[in-house]
């Protein structure tokens, strides 16, 4: 396997584990510069990417690469531009024998990276290729209303939902539609909250904070993706608060996305939370079978390929978690070195997708659950265990009890013992309460799903 093939395969796994906005922001123009004696050296375009990948994504990248090549034991990062002698991810050509249609022109993972440098928007994200179903129709309707009346209809517009459900697509579709509708007379800026933070840190370091402020206060439509990452960053929250107020008072539109509702973002300043809740809050949930199939068909049209309906139906029936995993499964079929004809051997398709569909559930323990719950609600694990009765701790503690019961199938006394020696009746009450609440509270369902992702990603 060449370095290029190794990196592309690793990128495919990485993309499934982080938001598309962060994937595009931090992994664009990266490649394996050198692979020697168990050390993979990753080429990155600038110092910010180097620092962020080293500190935040090192373990994720190493795990993804080692899943492909167990010989690699260590990662290093180096700032280097992709030269003609080293193929960058955006130059990769995938030829797909056996699937009708033209070859896919660029790497699957970086197919949508024709990004406008002024707005950070990808023109491929539009309302026309955003598949609408019962799981996202309210969010799409609110987005359309914002386009028709920016700054007035719903301000701010806050869209939340789990990873890989299309939030980034919808946010960027708003920006692209505004540019088209108003003939570029309105200035649009799209950015992830992590990139916003890194720009702020750089401006403070270089004494350019006034330039930073002016840059953001000149926009007409500010779109911030994954706003939950502002949690705990006091200086960033303060600066965003002032930027938000300035734009809001000028009737400029603010659009935000998050993996959870404002109430569930721990350590978010109350003044920011109240402003987020002052506009329109809408969620995106998991797509149903019909919508998953429609999404797959839309993707095949975009990629200019023809895949039999039987294969698409198989993918839609077995990959149910989110849209990103759907596309990952489709990309795997496209890139597979198997011949898929109009009369496909479904056993071959099943084999290609086996590790996605039948991935064994990772084992976990009570310590992982306690830690994941604490991290999600941004409290200490010690608070969950000790006799703390603060409101912001009691709820998460009940969630920990519920998950230990559901995921580990442990007894009530065992759970009570691990959470500070509590009586088993306390655990019974918490589990019964959440079992009833989860049936009718969609927000709680999403929170539990996100926590489970944290538990099994450790």
CATH number at residue 50: 3.30.300.180
pTM of the predicted protein model? 0.64
In CATH, what number is assigned to the domain containing residue 277?
3.40.50.300
How do residues 263-295 score in pLDDT, each as one tens digit? 888 778 888 989 999 899 998 888 888 888 888
Mean pLDDT rounded to a whole number for the chain: 82
Say whether both 274 and 194 belong to one domain. yes
Say whether both 36 and 143 belong to one domain. no
**Helix (DSSP H) and strand (DSSP E) numbers for the chain:** 21, 10
In this model, does residue 338 exceed pLDDT 70? no
Q: What is the mean pLDDT of residues 431-439?
A: 89
In this model, does residue 360 exceed pLDDT 60? no
In angstroms, the CA 105 to CA 87 distance is: 14
Say whether both 59 and 87 belong to one domain. yes
In this model, does residue 173 exceed pLDDT 50? yes
Say whether both 152 and 252 belong to one domain. yes
Q: What are phi and psi of 44, to 5 degrees?
A: -130, 155
DSSP code at position 149:
S
Q: What is the mean pLDDT of residues 356-364?
A: 65
Q: What are phi and psi of 36, to 5 degrees?
A: -150, 135
In this model, does residue 85 exceed pLDDT 50? no
Per-residue confidence (pLDDT) for residue 106, from 0 to 100:
37
Q: Residues of the chain with pLDDT > 70: what percent?
A: 87
Say whether both 407 and 425 belong to one domain. yes
Say whether both 39 and 80 belong to one domain. yes
Residue 281: how many CA atoms within 13 Å on its side-chain side?
A: 16
Does residue 111 fall inside a structural domain?
no
Q: For residue 425, which of 415, 439, 436, 434 has the smallest C-alpha distance? A: 415
Domain end: 284, 319, 336, which one? 284
Does residue 149 fall inside a structural domain?
yes
How do residues 86-135 score in pLDDT, each as one tens digit? 444 333 323 333 344 433 333 344 444 567 888 889 888 999 889 888 88
Say whether both 209 and 323 belong to one domain. no
Which of residues 432 and 392 earns the better pLDDT score? Answer: 432
Domain end: 357, 389, 408, which one? 357
Per-residue confidence (pLDDT) for residue 42, from 0 to 100:
93
How do residues 396-412 score in pLDDT, each as one tens digit? 999 999 999 988 888 99
Per-residue confidence (pLDDT) for residue 94, from 0 to 100:
31
Q: What is the mean pLDDT of residues 158-176?
A: 91
Cβ atoms 259, 289 nearer than 8 A: no
What six digits make up the tokens of 181? 């509708």
Does residue 102 fall inside a structural domain?
no
Does residue 105 fall inside a structural domain?
no
Domain end: 302, 330, 357, which one? 357
Per-residue confidence (pLDDT) for residue 103, from 0 to 100:
37
Does residue 245 fall inside a structural domain?
yes
Residues 6 or more apart from 133 whose CB is under 8 A from it? 287, 288, 290, 291, 294
Per-residue confidence (pLDDT) for residue 159, from 0 to 100:
95
Say whether both 278 and 147 belong to one domain. yes
Q: What is the mean pLDDT of residues 49-54?
A: 85
Range 20-56 burial, b when 16+ CB lie within 10 A, else e:
bbbbbbbbbbbbbbebeeeebbbbbbeebbbebbeee
Q: For residue 108, which of 213, 7, 218 has the smallest C-alpha distance? A: 7
Per-residue confidence (pLDDT) for residue 219, from 0 to 100:
94
Does residue 431 fall inside a structural domain?
yes
Say whether both 278 and 141 belong to one domain. yes
In this model, does residue 342 exceed pLDDT 60? no
Q: What is the mean pLDDT of residues 193-201?
A: 89
In terms of average pLDDT, the best of 137-151, 320-334, 436-450 is: 137-151
> Domain range holding 308?
289-357
- When divided into structural domains, the chain yields a total of 4
Say whether both 149 and 263 belong to one domain. yes
Cβ-based neighbour number of residue 114 at 10 Å: 12
Say whether both 340 and 375 belong to one domain. no
Does residue 392 fall inside a structural domain?
yes
Per-residue confidence (pLDDT) for residue 270, from 0 to 100:
87
Say whether both 198 and 298 belong to one domain. no
Q: Residues of the chain with pLDDT > 90: what percent?
A: 30
């Amino acid at each position: 396997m060449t370095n290029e093939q190794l990196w592309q395969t690793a990128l495919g796994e990485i993309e499934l584990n982080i938001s598309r906005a962060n994937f595009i922001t931090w992994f664009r123009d990266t490649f394996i510069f050198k692979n020697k004696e168990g050390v993979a050296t990753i080429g990155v375009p600038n110092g910010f990417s180097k620092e962020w990948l080293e500190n935040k994504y090192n373990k994720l990248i190493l795990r993804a690469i080692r899943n492909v090549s167990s010989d690699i034991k260590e990662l290093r990062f180096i700032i280097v531009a992709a030269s003609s002698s080293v193929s960058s991810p955006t130059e990769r050509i995938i030829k797909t024998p056996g699937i009708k249609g033209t070859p896919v022109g660029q790497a699957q993972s970086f197919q949508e990276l024709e990004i406008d440098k002024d707005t950070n928007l990808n023109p491929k994200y539009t309302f026309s290729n955003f598949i609408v179903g019962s799981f996202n129709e309210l969010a799409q309707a609110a987005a359309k209303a914002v386009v028709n009346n920016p700054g007035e209809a719903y301000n701010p517009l806050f869209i939340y939902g789990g990873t890989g459900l299309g939030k980034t697509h919808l946010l960027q579709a708003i920006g692209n539609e505004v540019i088209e509708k108003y003939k570029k007379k309105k200035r649009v800026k799209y950015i992830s909250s992590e990139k916003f933070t890194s720009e702020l840190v750089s401006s403070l370091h270089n004494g350019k904070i006034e330039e930073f402020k002016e840059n953001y206060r000149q926009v007409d439509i500010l779109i911030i993706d994954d706003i939950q990452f502002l949690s705990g960053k006091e200086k960033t929250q303060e600066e965003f608060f002032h930027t938000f107020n300035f734009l809001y008072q000028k009737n400029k539109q603010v659009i935000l996305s998050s993996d959870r509702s404002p109430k569930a973002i721990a350590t978010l300043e109350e003044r920011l939370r109240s402003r987020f809740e002052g506009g329109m809050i809408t969620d995106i949930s998991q797509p149903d079978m019909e919508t998953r199939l429609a999404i797959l068909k839309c993707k095949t049209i975009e990629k200019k390929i023809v895949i039999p309906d039987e294969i698409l139906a198989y993918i839609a029936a077995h990959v149910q978690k989110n849209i990103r995993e759907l596309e990952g499964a489709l990309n795997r079929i496209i890139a597979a070195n198997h011949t898929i004809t109009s009369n496909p051997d479904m056993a071959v398709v099943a084999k290609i997708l086996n590790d996605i569909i039948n991935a064994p559930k990772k084992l976990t323990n009570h310590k992982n659950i306690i830690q994941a719950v604490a991290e999600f609600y941004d409290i200490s694990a010690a608070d969950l265990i000790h006799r703390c009765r603060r409101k912001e701790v009691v709820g998460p503690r009940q969630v920990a009890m519920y998950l230990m019961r559901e995921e580990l199938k442990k007894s009530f006394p065992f759970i009570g013992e691990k959470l500070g020696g509590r009586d088993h009746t306390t655990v019974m009450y918490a589990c019964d309460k959440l079992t009833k609440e989860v049936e009718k509270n969609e927000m709680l369902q999403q929170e539990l799903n996100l926590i489970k992702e944290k538990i099994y990603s450790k």
